[in-house]
Structure 1
Amino acid sequence: MTNTSEPPHPALAGREEESAALTDAIRRLVAVATATTAPPDATLAAARELESVADALERHVPDPPLPKTMLHLSDDGRADLAGRMAYDAVIGRHNPMALPLEVAFEPPKALLRGTFTRPYEGPPGCVHGAVLAGAFDILCAAANFVAGVAGPTARLEIVYRRPTLLGEPCLFEGEVEARDGKRVRTVGRLLQRGRVTVEATGDFVHLDREDIARMAAQMME
C-alpha cells in the first residue's frame, strides 16, 4: 500500500526511478551470479567491470551516510512502511539484498506477499530458514506499526511446521496479540498452498518516536 503524499527518502529525491532500476539490475545480477557457469575469463571480466561500476558509484556516497529509516513520517498505520524504510534489509525497495516481499495492511493485520526464488534457497527446493526468520521479524514489526506500538524486537520464536517451497506464492499474516505496558506480544504465520508452513511469536518493546530517535542518535555517537 503506497501513500503517494509522503516525500521520498532524501537520498532518492530526483532519482527514485533510476535508483529502482539500479536495484532491479543488481537483484538480477545476484540471481545470475548464484546460477551461472560462465568460464573463468568471462567471470573475471565481469568482476572487473562490476568493480569499475562500484568505483563510479562510490564517489557519490555521502559521509556521514543518510539515515536508512525516515522517523518523521506518520505512524498511523496508513503510511507506506516500505517507502519510509527504502533501504531496509528485508523490505527496502532500494536495497538489492531485500526479500521479494510486498507489505500491505488489513487492520489489525499486516501482510507480506511474494515468491522466493533460487537465491533464497536453503534445503533443495525450499526457502532458507534464516530468510523466513527475517521475514517474520519485519512482519511483526509491520503489525506493531499498524497497531501504533512500534519498537525493537526483544524475542522472536520461529516454529517451522513444514518446508516452504521456492517458486510458490507466500502469504505472511501478523497481528498484535497482547499488550502489557510497553511490552507487546505479536504473532504471525506463513501460508503456502493454503497450509501453514511456519509460525512465529515475538515480544517487542513499544517506543515512541522520540525514544527511537534518541536511541538512533546514541548508536551513531
Structure 2
Amino acid sequence: MNWWNEFLANPAISEKLPVATLETLGMVAFASFWTALVGLPLGLVLHATGKGGTRPVPVLYAALSAVVNIGRAIPFIILIILLIPVTRAVVGTPLGWQAAVLPLAVGAVPFYARLVETSAREVAPGKIEAALMVGASRLRMTGGVIVREALPSLIAGFTVTVIALVGYSAMAGAVGGGGLGFLAITYGYQRFDAAVMFAAVIVILAIVFLIQFLGDRAARLVDHR
C-alpha cells in the first residue's frame, strides 16, 4: 500500500483535488442553469418559426438559425479568448471558475437549442393538430403539448449538453478557468506528475458517469409512452 500512501501524500491530490472538483462542479452547475434557461426557449422558438412549426416565420428562423450555427461552429477554446473582454466586464476578471461560467454557457446554449428543436420536431403532428382543434393557444400548446411530449428527449439532450460542459470546463482550465482541467495541466502536465493527471481524469469520469446515470433515470421517469 506504499503507492497509495504516496498517492494521498501528494499535496496536489490531497489538498488541491477536492477544491478543483468543487470548482468544476460549480462552473458546470451554473453554466447548465443558464444553458437551460436560454437554450430551451430558443430551441422552441426555432421549432415554432421553422418550416412545419406552429407559427412559421422564415426570416426570423433563418436569422436565429444562422446565429446558432455560428455559435456551434466556433471552437470553445477560441470562444473563451474572444469573450475575455465581455467576461472581464461582467465578472471583473477573466480568470477563475466564476469567469468560466459565461463562455461555458455561451458555448452550450446554441448546442442545446438545436437539440431542443430536434426533440420538438419528433412530437407527433397529430397531437399538435388535436390541440389546435380544441382551441389551445400556441403558447399553451408549446408548454402543454410539445414540451410535455418531448420531455424525455429534452432531458436526454440536456444530459448530453451537461456532459459536454464537463469537457468544456476542462478546456477552460487551459486558460486559467480553474477546476480539474487547470489542476491537470498546471500540476500534472507542466510538472510531469502523472498521478495528478490520473486523479483528475478519474474524477472527471466519475462526474460524467454520475450525470449520465441521473439523466437516464430522469428521462425514464417522465417517459409514459
Rg comparison, structure with higher value? 2
TM-score norm. by structure 2 comes to 0.32
TM-score norm. by structure 1 comes to 0.32
Instruction: Pick the structure with more strand per residue.
Output: 1
Instruction: Pick the structure with more helix per residue.
Output: 2
Bigger relative contact order, structure 1 or 2, given CA contacts below 8 A and separation 6+?
2
